[in-house]
Chain A
Amino acid sequence: MNDHPNPNHAETALIEMRDVTVATMRDSSFAVLENVDWKVTPGEFWLVAGQQHSGKSDLILLAAGLMPPARGEHTLFGKDPQSFGEQDLTQRLRVGVVLEASQLFSHLTIAENVALPLRYHKNLTEAGAADEVRSLLELMELAPLADITPANVPANWRRRAALARALILKPEMLLFDNPLAGLAARHVFWWTSFLDQLWHGHDFFGGRPITIAATSDDLRPWQNPRRKFALLNEKKFAPLGFWSDVESSGDPVVKELLAVHPETVT
């Protein structure tokens, strides 16, 4: 494991947003966030917190290049993702995305879901991808669920399968939309520790640190002195700094996201 996440390319932005307006997926004329300035550089772990309907999901979808900004400039690996074509597929595959509802393909089993991107992009048969998929499923304790379709798998494990699917292509950066929402305590612990391992460089992925950006509606599980935090509130993206800044913040929304007793909220 690497204790210092990728300090060599600190100046290169993986994601950069300048004065971006984020609209919703369904209605491109309805802005949920305005004037967003955000830069994610290699080795960082960003946690963007916000209450419900604050624009967390849309921010992640936009950051991943899955929808265009309503206004402003957004780049992914230095390029406008709206101009990504076939020739930019390798760039596209440098980022993995895990959405809140897992969005596994209902007609495939867990193993087939995890294998799909590998098989599609490397043109592998089911047998050809089996070893790699099995290893990853075992790493993530998903092997017993390999042959079950998502509808028959508890939500805690579906989320984990979605992570496995995002990891199978060994991306450089992972984007998460509220990954801990609704998870049992045991799974929350597993996720935070596993994401920390990925951030610092997991042996399974060759020890290469993975840059991470996640959203959350609860700040408490994300306590870590080296993570960077930001807040989504009233259509604004406000960087908060590190955990010490979060703890000392007087913002009532931050306190709410820390589940501080209402009487102490100023």
Chain B
Amino acid sequence: MAGFYLAGMRGIWSRTFELSNTQGFGRAPLPRSYTDYLGRKLFLFLLTVQGLGAFALITLGVILQKRGVARNVIGPRIRQETARAGVALLPMFSFVALALGFLVIGQTVSVLAKVGATNYLGSTMVIVIVRELGPLLAAFLVLARIGTAHVIELGTARAMGEIESLEALGIDPVHYLIVPRVIGMAAGVFTLTVFLVVGALASGYLFAFLQDVPLTPGDYFKEIINALGWLDFALLALKSLVVGFFIAIVTCYHGLAQPLRIEEVSRVTVRAVSQGIIVCVFIDALFIVLYLLV
């Protein structure tokens, strides 16, 4: 970790996870065959995975190693980023929670009540909302609203030479720019997931109630509570934190970890969002396996 500073850090970056190699692949002549094409895509994928992994490890290392450094500067930055990726998104999440409740849960409850299958209500809600839709939707919304901002801000800062300025001032760019964003986004995705799940479940019953479904609030919430286990709470928390961490890693990586020109920022933003979605789905799949195994 000691070598992160300044040129040392730049050297590590360029050797470890800058996309100069992938850009080289991108500039390579057109493939002559499908195997060449697939091979090139595979190399690009592996290099991206390597870069993201290295960046994630470096960020984790800086979080642990510098947890007490410049607390009066980094502390307010973390609070600011947490507010941006959490509190500031509450109005939008309120709307999405209502919409999710009305459109999905209300109809599900109504159909289950009609066929007399309210016994399955709890497990259906837990699988659909608590395990899958809630965390995934929260992650996608935070990625769209805050992740894109990360890429643009960091990409512009990189293109304008602000990163070199930080290094010249002896300030670790990962510590100052990345750590607050990663912590803020992980905390934001976690809290917004909880908010979205609770809001969707509540508004879903409201919709079912308006449709005269013969189900009391007590029965509705009892079914859900009975279907919830400690594993759901633990994995929901873990999943949302991991997804938030990796969305931040992907977006910050694309904004910061490679030299950019200002005109490249938009292209990199699109790529970061695409990869962010893939990472979310991949983590979601891993957690499905985890649910099945435990």
Which residues of chain A have a CB within 8 Å of any CB of chain B? Answer: 25-26, 28, 61, 64-68, 81-89, 92-93, 96-97, 99, 101, 103-107, 116-117, 119-121, 123-125, 128, 162, 165-166, 169
Among B7, B69, B71, contact of A65 (Cβ-Cβ < 8 Å): B7
Whether a CB of chain A sits under 8 angstroms from the CB of B119 is no
Inter-subunit contact A121/B162 (CB<8 Å): no
Inter-subunit contact B6/A92 (CB<8 Å): yes
Which residues of chain B have a CB within 8 Å of any CB of chain A? Answer: 1-8, 10-11, 14, 69-73, 153, 156-157, 160-162, 164-171, 176, 259
Inter-subunit contact A120/B70 (CB<8 Å): yes
Inter-subunit contact A86/B170 (CB<8 Å): no
Among A61, A85, A101, A105, contact of B5 (Cβ-Cβ < 8 Å): A85
Nearest Cβ on chain A to B89's Cβ, whole angstroms: 19
Among B3, B4, B164, contact of A103 (Cβ-Cβ < 8 Å): B164
Q: Knowing A119-B73, A121-B70, A123-B73 are in contact, say whether A66-B10 is a contact too (CB < 8 A).
A: yes
Bound-state CA distance A66–B1 (Å) is 17
Bound-state CA distance A96–B72 (Å) is 23
Nearest Cβ on chain A to B284's Cβ, whole angstroms: 33
* Contact residues in B for A92 (Cβ distance below 8 Å): 5-6, 170
Nearest Cβ on chain B to A89's Cβ, whole angstroms: 6
> Which of B1, B7, B14, B160 has the most CB atoms of chain A within a 10 A radius of its CB?
B7
Bound-state CA distance A83–B4 (Å) is 10
Inter-subunit contact B171/A117 (CB<8 Å): yes
Among A64, A105, A119, A162, contact of B72 (Cβ-Cβ < 8 Å): A119
Inter-subunit contact A123/B7 (CB<8 Å): no
* Contact residues in B for A61 (Cβ distance below 8 Å): 164
Nearest Cβ on chain A to B113's Cβ, whole angstroms: 52
Inter-subunit contact B10/A89 (CB<8 Å): no
B175 closest partner in A (C-beta) = A120
Inter-subunit contact B3/A85 (CB<8 Å): yes
How many A-B Cβ pairs are below 8 Å?
Answer: 102
A92 closest partner in B (C-beta) = B170
Q: Knowing A68-B11, A84-B6 are in contact, say whether A116-B168 is a contact too (CB < 8 A).
A: no
Inter-subunit contact A103/B72 (CB<8 Å): no
7 smallest beta-carbon distances between A and B, as pairs: A85-B2, A97-B168, A103-B165, A103-B161, A117-B169, A120-B70, A92-B170
Inter-subunit contact B5/A89 (CB<8 Å): yes
Inter-subunit contact A26/B169 (CB<8 Å): no
Bound-state CA distance A124–B171 (Å) is 14
Among B8, B166, B170, contact of A82 (Cβ-Cβ < 8 Å): B8
Bound-state CA distance A123–B71 (Å) is 6
**27 A-B contacts (beta carbon < 8 Å):** A25-B259, A65-B7, A66-B10, A66-B167, A66-B168, A67-B7, A81-B8, A82-B7, A82-B11, A84-B6, A88-B5, A97-B168, A99-B161, A99-B165, A99-B168, A101-B161, A103-B160, A103-B162, A106-B160, A117-B169, A120-B169, A121-B70, A123-B70, A123-B71, A123-B72, A125-B72, A166-B169
Bound-state CA distance A104–B157 (Å) is 10
* Contact residues in A for B156 (Cβ distance below 8 Å): 106
Bound-state CA distance A107–B156 (Å) is 11
Inter-subunit contact A26/B168 (CB<8 Å): no
- Beyond the given A101-B161, A120-B70, please list 18 additional residue pairs across the A-B interface where CB-CB is below 8 A: A25-B259, A26-B259, A28-B14, A65-B6, A66-B6, A87-B2, A92-B5, A104-B165, A105-B157, A106-B157, A116-B169, A117-B169, A119-B72, A120-B176, A121-B70, A123-B69, A123-B73, A125-B72
* Contact residues in B for A96 (Cβ distance below 8 Å): 168
Nearest Cβ on chain A to B51's Cβ, whole angstroms: 17
Bound-state CA distance A154–B171 (Å) is 26
* Contact residues in B for A103 (Cβ distance below 8 Å): 160-162, 164-165
* Contact residues in B for A25 (Cβ distance below 8 Å): 164, 259
Nearest Cβ on chain B to A140's Cβ, whole angstroms: 17
Bound-state CA distance A66–B162 (Å) is 13
Bound-state CA distance A121–B5 (Å) is 14
B71 closest partner in A (C-beta) = A123
Inter-subunit contact A81/B7 (CB<8 Å): yes
Among A84, A121, A128, A162, contact of B8 (Cβ-Cβ < 8 Å): A84
Nearest Cβ on chain B to A59's Cβ, whole angstroms: 14
Among A68, A101, A120, contact of B171 (Cβ-Cβ < 8 Å): A120
